[in-house]
Structures are given as structure tokens and as C-alpha cells.
Chains A and B, each alone.
Chain A
Amino acid sequence: MLKNYFKIAIAVLKRRKFFTFISLFGISFTLTILMVLTAFIDKVVNDKYPDKKRDRLLYVNGIELRGPHDKNGTALSFYFFSHYASTIKGMEKISISSRFNGTNTYVNNKKIALNYKYTNDAFWDVLDFDFIEGKPYSKQQVDNGELVTVISEDIKKAYFGDVLSVVGKYIEADNVKYRVSGVVKNVPITLYMIYSDIYLPYTVSKTDDKSKSYMGRYTGILLAASKSDVPKLQDEFEQMVKRLPMPSKNYDQIFCHADNFITGYVRTGNEESSGVTIALTAIAVFVLLVMLLPTLNLVNINITRIMERSSEIGVRKAFGASSKTLVYQFIVENLILTFLGGAIGIVLSWIIIQVINSANLIDNLVLSLNITVLFFAMLTCIVFGLLSGVYPAWRMSRLNVVNALKQQ
């Protein structure tokens, strides 16, 4: 039966080449746009380098203090993590790192702009960086305040050029010479909590981190012992925040959250509106916009095509085919068309992704078509096929046999 439908579908597609072209064009381009979008989101949200243990991690990115007249929100202080957050029960490790900041270095009268980040030693245990050479700095090195650093692949190339090994060499940044301890694979800047060009022990920081205020320039990542411990850990963290003493009379509320990756990533710093809702609405509106027009277009074209086939439908009905069979056939035909368009769409998206990657729009953000993206593509194909097939099929099934035959 299906084989028959397939044959008919191909025959119909061949008959009106112009319409087939319009349909395929619409489907494939819509899918391409959706797939590039999903590839981008997938890369930003789902790429698990270097936080491979993401399902056991909780991200603490900021704190907000509120009072009747005042509102103040920023990243946290080192003191907050070392004195309050590290007392939480059931936590295996806590990574503490500053936000990345820019500085310059000059090699052979050439300027290199680089970003640096101060971290503790647990940063390297909580996150699983791929070391191209060398190793991270140890707890002892951090405690001693040794001038050591872990640098990214890009900086190795920019600063040292094409040399094989740089471990043990010195890199000058911010007017201080640091000994290179390791080189890691690049992290895209979209992962702003982790991204940096060079990583330094927090003990060598030039700024005084001993302030006892809650606010500062550090963010933290908590590692739970196992996946099932995460909700408990989150709960403990909320309890700890509740117990925090108010820093001044101006404030009466403290907001600080340990979030899973996505919630933490899009948290706007505004307590009233969740970042997830905003991000989801924006994406939903965009997808709706991109899909609605081509779908309407397809519905229009499909109806036109069905009217063209009214004689065929009339004959089939006259010989006893039920409306249900006809609707079923038409939807299957439509799905075949959509999948054909989908295949073209996948090829197109692959080309576009290659173009985006070679244009290097965002440093180190390499998009790829992976299983997740393909899965979403299939899903959109089906939704698309059904969406644009159901109404025309319904219209067709209501055709009157006599009229349909007479129209010839």
C-alpha cells in the first residue's frame, strides 16, 4: 500500500515541476534555518566541554541585594565562597573563578589582547579540560602563590608561534611573567563562566580579595557527589543563603541561586522575570514566524494541486475509497514531499554551517550537525508535513464525487 502511495507521490511530483520546486524550496529553506538555529542552541547549551559532569554541577553566577530603595546585583566575592558556600553539606568540590577580564601583552612589538581569569585549584577537578600538554596547577602551587598559568591553544599560538612544547616557558601578561604549566583546548566565549585565554591561581591576583562583602567578581560551580544529590545540594544552598546576615540596613533581601546549567546561563540578574521564560518566548516567536509563512504557502499550493487532481479523487471515490483512505494517502504523500525537502535541507544546513564555521563569527564556536540536531530536523519535518497536509486533505475528502468527475 505504502509503496503504491510512494509511486503516486513521485508521479505527481514529476507532473508539475514548478509546484514541486516551490514546495521543496520552501520546505528545505525553512528546515535549514531551523536546523542552523538548533545547531547554534545545541552548541551553546548542550556542548559539554569542558564541564563534562554537567548533570552533577550547580552554577552560582551572581547575587542580588535588595532593600526598600536600593537594588544591587553583581558577581560574588571570594570570601562568600570560601566562608559560606564551602560550608554546605553534601558538596564534593567547589570551583571558584573570577569573571574574565582583559589585558594586553606585547611580543615583538605586536600587541596581543588577552583575557585572564583567576581560579582555585578545584576549578581543574570540577571541570574536565582537555590538556594538550602539561597539567593544571596544584593546590600547593595555589597556596604558595606561585606565578604559574594554564593557557589556551589560541594564546599558545599567538604568543609563542608554532612551537611544539611550551610547558615551563614564561608568558608575560599584565606586566608579570608566569610560568606555563599546561595548555588546554579552547573554550568558546559563549561559555562565559569558564572561558578565558589564560588561567591564573587566585592567590596571585593583584586586587585585594579579602573584602568581606558578598559582592565581588567571582562565580562558582558546585560539584555534587552524584546526580541524585543535586536537588538536595540546591536545597542546602538556598538554606545557606537564607541564613546569611544582612550586610547593611539598606537591604532586607538577598537573592542568590545555585542553578543547573541552562537556568544559570540565561538568568538575567532580575529576580522578577526568569531568563528561561524570556529566552524560550524569543525562540518560540522566531520559530513560529519562520514556520508559519512557509506552512501557509504550502497549504495554498497543496490546495491548488488537489483541485487539479479532482478527477482522480472522483474516480477513486466512485469506486468505493473512503474519505479516510484518501486523507491518509494525501498526508503520506505530503510527508514524502516534506522528507525529500528535509534531505535537501540537511545538505543545505551542512553547507551553511561550514560557511559559518569558516567565517569564524564567534571565536572557537564550531557548529556541527549532530544527532540532536538531526533528531530535531526529523521532528520539524513531521510537524511541517502534518501542518501543511491536514487542511488540504480535509478539503479534498469533502469533494463531491459527481462534481469532481464533472469538472473534467
Chain B
Amino acid sequence: MFRHLFKMIWNKKKQNALLISEMLISFLVLFAVFSLLVYNYQNYKKPMGFDYENVWVINYNNTVKTDNTDSLNLFYETLRQTIKSMPQVKEISFVNDNVPFSTNTNQSGFTHNKKHVDHLNYHLVEDGYSTVLNVKMLEGRWFNKQDIASANESIVINNSLKELIFGKENAAGKLMGNDDDKIKWRVVGVVQDLKDKGDYTNAGIAIYHRADTGSFHWFGKILVNVTPNADATFESHLYKTLANAMPSSNVEIEHLADKRKNINYFALVPLIVLLIVAGFLMVNVALGLFGVLWYNINKRRGEIGLRRAVGATGKSVSSQLVFESLILATFSLIIGSFFAVQFPLLNVFDLPSSVYITAILLSMIFIYLLVLICSLYPGKQAAAVYPAVALHEE
């Protein structure tokens, strides 16, 4: 039966070539769209890793005019006490510019045991950071007072970095650092990935350094965990306090919940636009396929009538037509998959292969469904052809 179908397809190779190329391009478009969707969905499924409700970010710039680290520390420790003494404030942590949901990134890289690590998110934080954001420790502990005296600088790494460097082994207590440097860091804990670039973005790899006595030179933001009853009145009070304490600095208070909304918006809008465009393209293709198949069947009434006359059932006639179009789809899917498979093989765009493979499967299913739906009605029509009428027309 299949040999017969192939022959039928071959006889009309010119028209079929066009159909195949149309399906091929639809497949490639779908593959791109599904890859993006699957990637975003996989990221979305991962836990957030921290709490952002009731956390505020204070932006300031360090304008204290002194080179003396002690007086700088004294100034900011006083400020810390002032903020912490407010009843609505639970905990605060000074941080560098790498706060959650900010579009700024602060990345570095290093080589550990000849393995090069790039795009490493650099965080400079204080002991209070884990409480402010309620992060979840997978191994070891967060920074505390013990770390002041340790011989090797203590660091906390996130789970992705741990898997990259230590694989399945435990990381807590191990040393790590750049191969060229003599001084290594000691990993005191592994924290669950914080999706701090938004719900739909991969957390990436991150390293957390503990603030030391000179760190106030590098800080520019304060994370504040407030009680749920902290309202705009309190916020304006906090703002005034800060602005008066740092008269020569620009101060801005932002809410992490708002920042999250913003960053998600910028991730979602392009995706939605893409979905609308792809949706329109698919409707277009579906209508086109339907039209062409329908017309072809009308043109082949003679042939169909003859087949019915020599004893073919209506069902076998319609299934022949459906199979013909499915074979066409298979051809285009084989060619399309050849191109699509190159993406995971060559590791383009650095996405996990599972994303591409799921996307290929989803687009295949989609194309088959599309072709099936578009050929079912014309097939049914063909089954309804009366041999006598069809042959009479000839």
C-alpha cells in the first residue's frame, strides 16, 4: 500500500514539493517558538528560592567624604542601627548592585581545576541576607560570626555552581578558587538557586562573598525585610530618615514585588508577541493546506470514482488521502528534524538539550495534528463520492 502511495506522491512532485517546503518552514517556525516556550516554562517550574514579598530595596550612593574605613564603618553602622530600630523593620542587609530583579548584572569568571567558569554572578552580602530573603540552604550553613576568623575566605555558592564544579559530591567545607591564585575560598554552604532575574529566567551560577570591614566602599543598596503592615506612611518616614542621614546621596526605595512584575513583563511581552505571530502563521498554513487538499480531491474525482467502482470502500479511499498527506508531512519533518537536531548537537545558544528535544517532539505532534485535521474533511468528502456520478462526469 505504501509503495502505491509513494508513487502517487511522486507523480505530482512539483506540487508536493511546494507543500513539503511549506510544512518544513512551519516546522522550523514551530521549533523556534516551542524551544522558547519550553525553556521559559522549565525556568518557571523551578522554585523561586527566596521570598520577595515585603522586601524593599534602598538605592543610595556612597558619598561619605572620607578615605578612613573606620569612620565609614561607623557612619553606616549608625545608619544600620537607625533603620533596624524601626518597629516595621525585621532585618536588613547591605548588598552590592546585584539585587534580585535588577537589570544590572555583576559577573565574573575563574578557572577551577582547569574548568573555566564564566558568567558567574557576583554577590557581596552580609549575614542578614539569608534572613531578609529567606533563602533555603541545601548544604552547610549561611555566613555567621565564625567566618571572621577563618583562614580561607568563606563563600556560599548556589546549587548550579556546585553541580558545575563538584558534581554530585558534597561541597560544604571544600576549597575552591582560581587555579592561578594561591589563596582559595572555603565553601561553607550551598544555597538553593535564587531565580533573581525573574520567574522566566534561568538563575545561572552565583557566588556569595561575605562583607568584610572594607566592604562599605562597594555597597550601593540595602535590602530591607519589613513587616506586612509597613505602608506608604512608614515608607515616606523611612525615606526621610535616610535622605536626612545621607544628605548628599540620591535615595530611592523600590519594592521587590514591583521589580519582579516589571522584569517578568519584559520577559513575557516578546514571548506573547511571538506567540500571536506564530498563531497567525499557523492559521494561515492550516487554511492553505486545507484549501489545496480539498481542491486536489475535487480534481481527482474520476480516479476516486474508479477506485470506488472496482470495490474500494469509502473508508479506504479517505484513509488513502489522509495517509498521502501524512507521508508528505513525514518527509518535511525528516528534513526539518535534520536541521533542528543540529541545535542540541552543536550546543547553539547554550540551552539544555532537553529543551530542543521537547521542542522537536512538540512541533512534530503539532504538524501531524494540523495535517490530520486539514485532510480529514476532504478525505470524508472523497469517501462520499458516488462512483456512478463521478465516472459519468468523465
A319 lies within 8 A of chain B by Cβ:
no
Is A26 an interface residue when CB atoms closer than 8 A count as contact? yes
- CB-CB under 8 A from A175, the residues of chain B are 239-240, 243-244, 247, 251
Question: Which residues of B lie under 8 Å from residue A361 when comparing CB positions?
Answer: 269
Give the shortest distance, in Å, between A279 (CB) and chain B (any CB).
15
Residues 308-349 of A, flagged 1 when their CB comes within 8 A of B and 0 if not, give: 100000000000000000000000000000000000000000
Please count how many residues in chain A sit with their CB below 8 Å of the partner chain's CB atoms: 39
CB within 8 Å for A296 and B63 given contacts A29-B280, A308-B295, A361-B269: no
Assess whether B235 is in contact with A207, with CB atoms less than 8 Å apart. Answer: no
Verify A292–B287 contact, CB threshold 8 A: no
Contact B252 A102 (CB under 8 A): yes
Residues of A within 8 A of B285 (CB): 293, 297
* B21 adjacent to chain A (CB < 8 Å): yes
Q: How far is the CB of A300 from chain B (nearest CB, A)?
A: 5
CA distance A297 to B292 in the complex (A): 9
**Size class of the B contact interface (CB-based, 8 Å):** 35 or more
Q: Is B144 an interface residue (CB 8 A)?
A: no
- The answer on a CB contact under 8 Å between A25 and B287 is yes
In angstroms, Cα B15 to Cα A299, docked, is: 10
Picked from A25, A26, A110, the residue with its CB within 8 Å of the CB of B232 is A110
With A174-B250, A294-B281, A304-B292: A109-B287 Cβ-Cβ less than 8 Å? no
B250 touches A293 (CB 8 A): no
A292 touches B25 (CB 8 A): yes
A296 B235 Cβ-Cβ under 8 A? no
Q: Is B118 an interface residue (CB 8 A)?
A: no
Question: For residue A107, which residue of chain B has the nearest CB?
Answer: B236
Q: Say whether A206 contacts B15, CB under 8 Å.
A: no
B376 CB–A CB distance under 8 Å: no
Instruction: Write the B11-40 contact mask toward A (1 if CB under 8 angstroms, else 0).
Output: 000010011011001100100000000000
B254 in the interface (beta carbon within 8 A): yes
Q: What residues of chain B lie closer than 8 Å to A111, measured between beta carbons?
A: 232, 235-236, 253
Q: How far is the CA of A33 from the CA of B269 in the complex (A)?
A: 15
Asked if A206 meets B18 with Cβ closer than 8 Å, knowing A29-B280, A301-B288, the reply is no
Determine if B288 and A300 form an interchain contact, defined as CB atoms under 8 angstroms apart.
yes
A residues in contact with B18, CB < 8 Å: 296, 299-300, 303
Q: Are A296 and B291 in contact (CB under 8 A)?
A: no
- Do B281 and A290 touch (CB < 8 A)? yes
How far, in angstroms, from A18 to B374 measured CA to CA in the complex?
14
Interchain CB contact under 8 A, B287 and A207: no
**Known pairs A104-B239, A207-B248, A361-B269; A33 contacts B277 (CB<8 A):** yes
B339: shortest Cβ distance to chain A, in Å?
14
Q: Is the interface of B mostly helix, strand, loop or mixed?
A: helix
Q: Given the complex, which residues of A lie within 8 Å of B354, measured CB to CB?
A: none
Give the residue of A289, A296, A301, A307 whose beta carbon is less than 8 angstroms from that of B21.
Answer: A296
Shortest C-beta distance, B375 to chain A (Å), equals 14
Report the separation of the CA atoms of residues A21 and B231 in the bound assembly, to the nearest whole angstrom: 57
A207-B61 CB under 8 A given contacts A104-B253, A109-B232, A174-B251: yes
Closest to B233 in A: A109
Q: Mark A139-154, 1 if CB is under 8 A from B, else 0.
A: 0000000000000000
Q: Answer yes or no: B59 CB below 8 A from chain A CBs.
A: yes
A29 to B247, CA, bound (A): 56
Interface: A250 (CB within 8 A): no
Decide: B250 and A207 in contact? CB cutoff 8 A: yes
Q: Does B168 contact A (CB under 8 A)?
A: no
Residues of B within 8 A of A29 (CB): 280, 284
Decide yes or no whether B45 CB sits under 8 A from chain A.
no
Once the chains are docked, how many angstroms separate the CA of A300 from the CA of B15? Answer: 8
- Check: A192 CB closer than 8 A to any chain B CB: no
Roughly how many angstroms separate A102 CA and B239 CA in the complex, as a whole number?
13
Q: Which of A102, A106, A208, A294 contacts B284 (CB 8 A)?
A: A294
Q: How far is the CA of A175 from the CA of B251 in the complex (A)?
A: 9
Report yes or no: A19 in contact with B291, Cβ–Cβ below 8 A: yes
* A304 contact from B26, B240, B248, B295, Cβ within 8 A: B295
Chain B 213-253, CB-CB to A under 8 Å as 1, else 0, gives: 00000000000000000011101100110011001111111
Mark contacts of A109-140 with chain B using CB atoms, 8 A cut-off: 1 yes-contact digit, 0 otherwise: 11101000000000000000000000000000
Knowing A19-B291, A303-B15, A304-B295 are in contact, say whether A293-B22 is a contact too (CB < 8 A): yes
Q: How far is the CA of A175 from the CA of B296 in the complex (A)?
A: 75
Name the contact of A301 in the complex, choosing from B252, B280, B283, B291 (C-beta under 8 A). B291
User: Is A239 in contact with chain B by the CB < 8 A criterion?
Assistant: no
Instruction: Give the interface of B toward A (CB within 8 A).
Output: 15, 18-19, 21-22, 25-26, 29, 59, 61, 63, 231-233, 235-236, 239-240, 243-244, 247-254, 269, 277, 280-281, 283-285, 287-288, 291-292, 294-296, 299
A-B contact pairs, 29 of them (CB 8 A): A22-B287, A22-B291, A25-B283, A26-B284, A26-B287, A33-B277, A102-B59, A102-B254, A103-B251, A104-B253, A106-B235, A109-B233, A110-B232, A111-B232, A111-B236, A111-B253, A174-B251, A175-B240, A206-B63, A206-B248, A206-B249, A206-B250, A290-B277, A292-B25, A296-B18, A297-B284, A298-B288, A300-B19, A303-B18
Apart from A104-B239, A113-B254, A175-B240, what are 13 other A-B pairs with CB-CB below 8 Å? A18-B291, A104-B253, A109-B233, A111-B253, A174-B243, A175-B244, A206-B249, A207-B63, A207-B248, A293-B281, A300-B292, A303-B15, A304-B296
